Amino acid sequence: MTTPAIQLTSVRKDFGSHRVLKDVTLTVPTGETFAFLGRNAAGKTTTIRMLLGLLKPSEAPGEAGGSGGSVRVLGIDPAVHPLTIRGRVGYLAEDQQMYGWMRVEQMIRFMAPFYPTWDHDLAKDYLKRFDLPAWTKIRHLSKGQNVRLGLLLALAHRPELVILDDPALGLDPIMRKEFNRDLITHLQGEGRTVFYSSHLLYEVEPIADTVAILHNGVIVKQAGTEALREQVKRIVLPKQDYDRLETPAGLLDLAQRNGEAAITLEDPGEVIASLQASGTSYRVVDLNLDEIFEAYVAGDTESKQVEETV
């Protein structure tokens, strides 16, 4: 078995008394495009900083297990060998700050010495392919050019793993699509592993092999993008029929209105089979990724009654 590109096991992180990550376990196989989803402040950037060796998991003295879990990136502990990791990983920060007074070409020459494997011909090639003006000062670049320059700087040392922290933030729809195309051609096409954090789900869905959802400090779901669509469904049925049902396993959300109950659940096969067997009338609704995400991070399984205002 090959070493996964990223392996987090029971990772925990506290800031003071605030526990940001409780128990994060995830595996990113080599060559995959992995979408890391979570609400704002869910701990996505904290996780990424650990992957880069900028933060260490918190110790938990006195608790079962004791340690704060383990982080392995390309088989290495980034907290122990941060420079090795940064040499083999490309990173595009959420709101990367670059020296505005530098020209694009100067910035590239400034970055190169930090990386032993920097490929200057490749950098020049990206400059052309990303349509970047070499002699323009960085502060005069558009937002889209800025992100593409960031991507160039993250890729020119031929990293095995690329970590993108909400890269499409602030790009217009056309630039986002262009960015995704670059990702598909220059990263997926070359078999590199991509770890992509975002909260724009509909942007991520077309390009991700796997989706993981971080919520309340734990990974509440990790699944193949298409498999996730198959696994989570909403079933709408008459309320009295729902009340006769035992609370189904894997229930994520329950809403009731107008005498109907809508249940959103994982692996609905069993429930559907029992509804069919009892002759209950029901309908199965396919959900989009946004709705699935919402069910996991904001789902309410208490028997909430939506008041109808007439």
Partner 1 sequence: MFIRIEKASGVPISRQIADQVRAQVMSGAVLAGHKMPSIRELARELAVNQNTVLRVYEKLTAEGLLDRRHGDGTYVGVRPKTAKLRGQRQQFKDELSQLVRRGQMLGHDAGQLHELLEAVIVKQASTPISTTTTENKP
Return the axis-axis angle of helices 104-111 and 143-155, rounded to nearest 10°.
30
List 229, 239, 245, 272, residue binding partner 1 (CB under 8 A): 229
The helix or strand, by DSSP H or E, that contains position 46, with its residue range, turns out to be helix 44-51
Binding part of the chain for partner 1, among 131-139, 173-181, 239-247, 295-303 by CB under 8 A, reads 173-181
The smaller minimum CB distance to partner 1, of residues 91 and 282, is found at 282
The distance of closest approach from Cβ of residue 39 to partner 1 in the complex, given in angstroms and rounded to an integer, is 17
Does 145 help bind partner 1 (rule: CB under 8 A)?
A: no
The distance of closest approach from Cβ of residue 276 to partner 1 in the complex, given in angstroms and rounded to an integer, is 10
List 208, 212, 295, 297, residue binding partner 1 (CB under 8 A): 208
DSSP state of 188: G
The smaller minimum CB distance to partner 1, of residues 87 and 238, is found at 238
By DSSP bridging, strand 232-238 and strand 6-15 are unpaired
Please tell me whether residue 210 adopts helix, strand or coil conformation: strand
| Type of residue numbered 287 | L
The smaller minimum CB distance to partner 1, of residues 23 and 241, is found at 241
Assign 3-class secondary structure to 58-117. Answer: CCCCCCCCCCCCEEEECCECCCCCHHHHHHHEEEECCCCCCCCCCEHHHHHHHHHHHCCC
Q: Identify whether the C-beta of residue 308 lies closer than 8 Å to the C-beta of residue 257.
A: yes
DSSP state of 130: T
List 226, 243, 270, 300, residue binding partner 1 (CB under 8 A): 226
Task: Show contacts with partner 1 in window 239-298 (CB under 8 A).
Answer: 281, 283, 285-290
The helix or strand, by DSSP H or E, that contains position 197, with its residue range, turns out to be strand 193-198
List 61, 113, 189, 269, residue binding partner 1 (CB under 8 A): 189
The smaller minimum CB distance to partner 1, of residues 14 and 260, is found at 260
Q: x/- contact string, 5-34, with partner 1 (CB under 8 A)?
A: ----------------------------x-
The distance of closest approach from Cβ of residue 287 to partner 1 in the complex, given in angstroms and rounded to an integer, is 6
- If 0-12 CB within 10 Å is exposed, 13-18 middle and 19+ buried, where does residue 91 land? buried
List 206, 273, 304, 305, residue binding partner 1 (CB under 8 A): 206
Does 59 help bind partner 1 (rule: CB under 8 A)?
A: no
Return d(Cα 83, Cα 47) in angstroms, integer.
Answer: 18
The distance of closest approach from Cβ of residue 288 to partner 1 in the complex, given in angstroms and rounded to an integer, is 5
Does 132 help bind partner 1 (rule: CB under 8 A)?
A: no
Return d(Cα 70, Cα 11) in angstroms, integer.
Answer: 6
The smaller minimum CB distance to partner 1, of residues 142 and 185, is found at 185
List 39, 72, 177, 199, residue binding partner 1 (CB under 8 A): 177
- If 0-12 CB within 10 Å is exposed, 13-18 middle and 19+ buried, where does residue 112 land? middle
Q: Identify whether the C-beta of residue 141 lies closer than 8 Å to the C-beta of residue 104.
A: yes
Does 199 help bind partner 1 (rule: CB under 8 A)?
A: no
The distance of closest approach from Cβ of residue 283 to partner 1 in the complex, given in angstroms and rounded to an integer, is 6
Q: Identify whether the C-beta of residue 260 lies closer than 8 Å to the C-beta of residue 239.
A: yes
The distance of closest approach from Cβ of residue 292 to partner 1 in the complex, given in angstroms and rounded to an integer, is 10
Residue ranges binding partner 1 (CB under 8 A): 33, 177, 180-181, 184-185, 188-189, 201-203, 205-209, 225-226, 229-230, 281, 283, 285-290
